[in-house]
């Protein structure tokens, strides 16, 4: 009898948690809808407030970040728009509207985007990496791995088909290596590397983390940097061209 009561209690707890989760999702969708209504009415400040409220519920999606980015852009906040476009890109990297809006927003950065020089092979590989989300490449890698495992089992069961199976196995093995390389690059770029976008109109990057330190270079709103160190209310950042300096934390937003 005690065991049955315990199981019943656990079942009730699971159902209660599930109902709470469904309620939170429904609430988030309702607020998201209100944000869309405000956006359609060109009340972008209210749309931003509604979308931000959705995020505070713990709900995330590519569409939410995309709409929030559009609202910030329409409200004149270029840096905030780029922040949210980049967050949306993690969920839907292949969305053409998102790519177009992000590209246009970046074209408005004062003095242009600072970009490193890559070889044609590096550029091609980065374009392939850019086409996948982290979840997407993880799923593809798993599928290729299971396919390779199945081919390996077939080669054991059907020895007379080994010559043909070996070609398939070699192709799948190369595909698996490529998927792993893409996955590692994606994981490094989105998880291990700490990035931020400049949200202030301009930010002075200094040699040292002090107010009266000498200015090394200037960063403009919308530029993306890598955080390499932190000290109190300062970030040590690295530009794509390798230059490093210290900026105040308040002038940038983490991705």
Residue-range domain boundaries for the chain: 2-107, 120-192, 195-254
**181 has a pLDDT exceeding 90:** yes
How far, in Å, CA of 227 to CA of 249, rounded?
Answer: 10
Question: Given a cut of 50, is residue 17 above it in pLDDT?
Answer: no
CB 78 within 8 A of CB 102: no
The average confidence (pLDDT) of the chain is 87
Instruction: Note the pLDDT of residue 51.
Output: 95
Top CATH class of 195-254 equals: mainly beta
Q: In the chain, pLDDT over 90 holds for what percent of residues?
A: 62
What's the whole-number mean pLDDT along residues 16-35? Answer: 71
Flag whether pLDDT at 123 surpasses 70.
yes
Considering only 19-23, 187-191, 208-212, 218-222, which range has the smallest mean pLDDT?
A: 19-23
Report the C-alpha gap between 103 and 136 in whole angstroms: 22
Give me the phi and psi of 239, to 5 degrees please: -80, 165
Question: Once rounded to an integer, what is the mean pLDDT over residues 45-56?
Answer: 94
pLDDT exceeds cutoff 90 at 238: yes
* Among 25-29, 61-65, 140-144, 224-228, the least confident range: 25-29
Given the candidates 3.50.50.60, 2.60.40.10, 1.25.40.10, 3.40.50.1100, the CATH classification of the domain at 2-107 is 1.25.40.10
pLDDT at 8 over 60: no
69-98: buried (b, 16+ CB within 10 Å) or exposed (e) per residue?
bbbbbeeebbbbbbbbbbbbbbbbbebeeb
Q: What is the pTM for the complete model shown?
A: 0.81
pLDDT at residue 164, as a whole number: 76
Burial of 54: CB neighbours in 10 Å, binned 0-12, 13-18, 19+: buried
Quote the pLDDT of residue 97: 95
| pLDDT tops 70 at residue 21 | no
The rounded distance, in Å, linking the Cα atoms of 11 and 215 is 61
Better-scored residue on pLDDT, 87 or 10: 87
- At residue 23 the predicted structure's pLDDT band, cuts being 50, 70 and 90, is low
């Amino acid at each position: 009898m005690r065991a049955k009561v315990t199981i019943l209690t656990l079942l009730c707890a699971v159902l209660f948690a599930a109902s709470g989760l469904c309620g939170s999702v429904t609430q988030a969708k309702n607020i998201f809808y209100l944000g869309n209504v405000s956006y359609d009415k060109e009340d972008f400040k209210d749309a931003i407030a509604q979308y931000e409220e959705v995020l505070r519920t713990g709900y995330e999606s590519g569409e939410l970040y995309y709409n929030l980015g559009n609202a910030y852009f329409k409200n004149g906040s270029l840096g905030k728009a780029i922040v949210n476009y980049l967050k949306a890109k993690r969920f839907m990297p292949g969305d053409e509207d998102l790519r177009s809006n992000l590209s246009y927003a970046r074209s408005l950065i004062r003095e242009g985007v600072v970009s490193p020089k890559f070889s044609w092979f590096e550029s091609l590989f980065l374009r392939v990496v850019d086409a996948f989300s982290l979840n997407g490449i993880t799923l593809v890698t798993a599928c290729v791995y299971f396919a390779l495992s199945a081919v390996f089992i077939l080669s054991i069961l059907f020895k007379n088909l080994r010559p043909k199976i070996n070609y398939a196995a070699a192709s799948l093995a190369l595909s698996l290596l490529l998927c792993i390389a893409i996955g590692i690059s994606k994981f490094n770029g989105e998880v291990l590397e700490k990035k931020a976008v400049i949200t202030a109109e301009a930010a002075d990057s200094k040699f040292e983390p002090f107010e009266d330190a000498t200015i090394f270079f200037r960063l403009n709103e919308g530029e993306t940097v890598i955080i390499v160190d932190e000290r109190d209310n300062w970030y040590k950042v690295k530009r794509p061209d390798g230059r490093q300096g210290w900026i105040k934390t308040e002038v940038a937003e983490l991705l």
